[in-house]
Amino acid sequence: MLASFLIKPGTIELREVAIPKPSEGEILVKIKSSLTCGTDLKAFLRGHPMIPMPGLFGHEFSGVVADVGKRVKKFRVGDEIMAVHSAPCNECIFCKKGLYNLCENIMSTKVLGAFAEYILLPTHIVKQNVFHKPDSLTFEEAAFLEPLSCVIHGMHDLRIKKGDKALIIGAGSIGLSHLLLLRNKGADVIITGLEKKRLTLAKSLGATFAVTPDKLKNILKKFTDGLGVDYVFECTGQPDVWQSSVNYVRKGGTVILFGGCKTGTTVTYDAGRLHYDEITLRGVFHFTPDDVKEAYNLLKSREIKVLKLISGRHLLKDIGKVFIKLAKGKGIKYALIP
């Protein structure tokens, strides 16, 4: 089969490798569509601690079951499926506390290699995080299961309701996914970013305001009558943006730090603002099986229009060109078709 390997930052190679054979409890999936994401782009540009090099990469996908191992009962050859690339072990201390996204083994047992013709899913993922794709969904829509699960996890327990005001910082694929989910919950949203095309798309997706950072202060004052927003969603992973994010939230508001900074990065906040204004800072990471189920049901109901986030479709053999486009800031997400 043909598979993409990230050799080093800036270098992707397509290689012919053997099609894996599923062992007991595993399924082999023939990929019909895979999607690029910001994490893949980070790895391409400068490497990523969770994506070993040289090695397979890509983790947003959907496809058709090509083979099954012994004792697999839920899926058969020919089934159209959608899945995510990880699942908790259910045995470690964090799993026993119900913190499944913080499972001690979840990153070491994740599966990479969606930018290929086939992907092998191990037993723990098959049991928890693989679903039959509804006929009403395209394979491209189904491949949004993983990123949508991450966004859902970041809003878990926030009780966002109609009329709440939210600010999204960063208008990339994750920021725009936040916009779709917030609008689905009835929130009024302002989003800020650097790319005017992305801001135009954000307006079409339901943002009340979509502005560049230099205009944010004045627009935000108008948007909230000077009070500040109920929620801020930081989706850039830039330390200076992490620090400034608390400037936009009202007293008693919540800042969701979704964009990941490099380990070892430090940021500084005004302790008085956090204490006397009761600001909640919340880091979020990955997702739980419940988040994946919620994402599945949301996609199945077609309540949000994820296809608008796809900037183009390319054959797998053109993956190098696709990532060069992304590196130049062209497009949001691309679908790769084996």
At 3 the pLDDT is 98
User: Are both 313 and 237 inside the same structural domain?
Assistant: no
Identify whether residues 173 and 135 lie together within a single domain. no
**pLDDT at position 49:** 83
Mean pLDDT value of segment 204-218:
96
Radius of gyration of the chain (CA): 20
317-335 per-position pLDDT tens digit = 999 999 999 999 999 999 9
Domain around 100: 2-150+287-337
Q: What confidence category does residue 48 fall into, taking pLDDT thresholds of 50, 70 and 90?
A: confident
* C-alpha–C-alpha distance, residues 33 and 138, integer Å: 9
Confidence of residue 208 (pLDDT cuts 50, 70, 90): very high
Per-residue pLDDT at 199 exceeds 90: yes
pLDDT tens, 265-307?
A: 999 999 999 999 999 999 999 999 999 999 999 999 998 989 9
Looking at the structure, tell me whether residues 192 and 327 fall in a common domain.
Answer: no
Q: 83-135 pLDDT, tens per residue? A: 999 999 999 999 999 999 999 999 999 999 999 999 999 999 999 999 999 99
- Of 192, 185, 196, the C-alpha closest to 232 is 192
Q: What does pTM read for this prediction? A: 0.96
User: Residue range 246-260: average pLDDT?
Assistant: 97
Kindly state whether residues 29 and 69 are assigned to the same domain.
Answer: yes
Residue 262: what pLDDT?
Answer: 87
How many domains, in total, are found in the chain? 2
- Last residue of a domain, which of 283, 299, 325? 283
What string of DSSP letters covers 59-118? Answer: -EEEEEEEEE-TT--S--TT-EEEE-S----S-SHHHHTT-GGG-TTTTTT-----SBSE
pLDDT tens digits for 135-167?
999 999 999 999 999 999 999 999 999 999 999
Same domain, 34 and 127: yes
User: Could you tell me how many helices (H) and strands (E) the chain has, helices first?
Assistant: 12, 16
Residue 50 has pLDDT above 90, yes or no: no
Q: What is the pLDDT of residue 69?
A: 97
| 196-204 and 173-184 helices, crossing angle to 10° | 20
CATH number at residue 223: 3.40.50.720
Q: Do 72 and 188 have their domain in common?
A: no
* pLDDT tens-digit readout, 60-78: 999 999 999 999 999 999 9
pLDDT at residue 233 is higher than 90: yes
Q: Are 282 and 255 in contact (CB under 8 A)?
A: yes
Is residue 106 located within the same domain as residue 235? no
The answer, yes or no, to whether residue 32 has pLDDT greater than 90, is yes
pLDDT above 90 for 12:
yes
Closest of 133, 83, 151, 82 to residue 304, by C-alpha: 151
243 in the same domain as 217: yes
pLDDT exceeds cutoff 90 at 59: yes
